[in-house]
Amino acid sequence: MADTDTQTTVIAADTHIRGEMSFDRTAKLLGKFEGKVTAKGELQVAEGAVCKAEVEAGRVTLDGAIDGNVTAQDRIQLNSKASINGDIKAAKLVVAEGASLYGHCAVGPDAAKAASPQQQPQIKTIPQQPKQPESTKQ
Amino acid sequence: MARQGVRKTVRCYNCHCRFEVSARAMSTSCPGCHKAVIVQDIIVTGLKTTQKLQTCGRVVVKSRGRIMAGKIEAHSGLEVQGALHADVTSGGPVVIGPKARWKGDCKAPTLEVHLGARIESGFFEVPYGAAADEK
């Protein structure tokens, strides 16, 4: 039996998907994807693969191209043949020499916090105190 | 006979023409535009604030170095191990070290970012210039 923790979803080279994709573990893109990616785990984009999408993932490892904004809670790794055309937000960034990058960058723990889904502000209702009747002057 | 030392090729930041200078030269007159140009590497070890920093050589910001500039033009590359707050145009590779802090735009032919670097903000254009046309 395959260990569920090490299972990888593979989108093969001759596949073209349009829409929204979400996963919890690891997905490897070898083909073409257009739309939106939301993941807790890792997205791997292989060399030759094309991803025209808004990507929000725990970790992104790139050998291919992403056309869209990329947000990673943990880390974005651009290998030497990687290409990103969009804005980047991540806690950590590793760029190898030769990678191409066009977009705004924000990297660091603060950027990752800003990128994480915002918590709903807790609103406390304070019961209004009844107005005291004005004291009558005598 | 004149002694022939080690020479290096640099590119003028005014007219972009290439010419050879002695590796030990600090500044010279560009044979293309006849303007004075700085050809030495600039190494920043402390705090340096300036409006514009230009050199045909490299700019290196050491781990305890901190540079705050409006614009930096380093035609042979730039390496940051400390803190940088500037808009950078580089003719050579840009290296952002593991403890570096970066704030500003970056135009460079190649970029290398090491794990641990912090980039507060900035628009990155990599590759830029002739390297982008080749790609």
> Which of B110, B119, B135 is closest, CB to CB, to A105?
B119
In terms of domains, do B73 and B98 share one? yes
Instruction: Say if B134 falls within a structural domain.
Output: no
| B133, part of any domain | no
Burial B111-131 (b: 16+ CB within 10 A, else e): bbbbeebbbbebebbbbbeeb
**Residue at token pair 């500044």:** B27
Residue B77 to residue A15: CA distance in whole angstroms: 41
Q: Does B98 map to a domain?
A: yes
What are the structure tokens assigned to B100, written together? Answer: 């570096």
pTM, rounded to two decimals: 0.84
Q: Are B22 and B57 within one domain?
A: no
Per-residue pLDDT of chain A (138 residues; tens, 9 = 90+): 555 567 889 999 999 999 999 999 999 999 999 999 999 999 999 999 999 999 999 999 999 999 999 999 999 999 999 999 999 999 999 999 999 999 999 999 888 777 665 444 445 556 666 656 655 444
Residue in chain A lying closest to B135 (CA): A100
Residues B12 and B78 in one domain: no
Yes or no, beta carbons of A104 and B93 under 8 Å apart: no
pLDDT at residue B11 in the model: 87
Q: Where residue B88 falls among pLDDT bands split at 50, 70, 90? A: very high
Yes or no, beta carbons of B122 and A108 under 8 Å apart: no
Query: Do B119 and A93 make contact, defined as CB atoms within 8 angstroms?
Result: yes
The count of structural domains within chain B is 2
Kindly provide the residue ranges of all beta strands, DSSP E only, lying in A63-118, ordered along the sequence. 65-67, 70-78, 83-85, 88-95, 100-107
Segments forming the whole domain that contains residue B19: 7-38
Q: Is residue B113 part of a domain?
A: yes
Q: What is the ipTM of this complex?
A: 0.84
* B28 & B83 share domain: no
As a whole number of angstroms, the distance between CA A29 and CA A34 comes to 11
Report the alpha-carbon distance of residue B18 to residue A63 in Å, rounded.
34
Question: B91 and B72 in one domain?
Answer: yes
B52 and B101 part of one domain: yes
Do A95 and B115 lie within an 8 Å CB cutoff?
Answer: no
**B131 in A contact zone (CB under 8 Å):** no
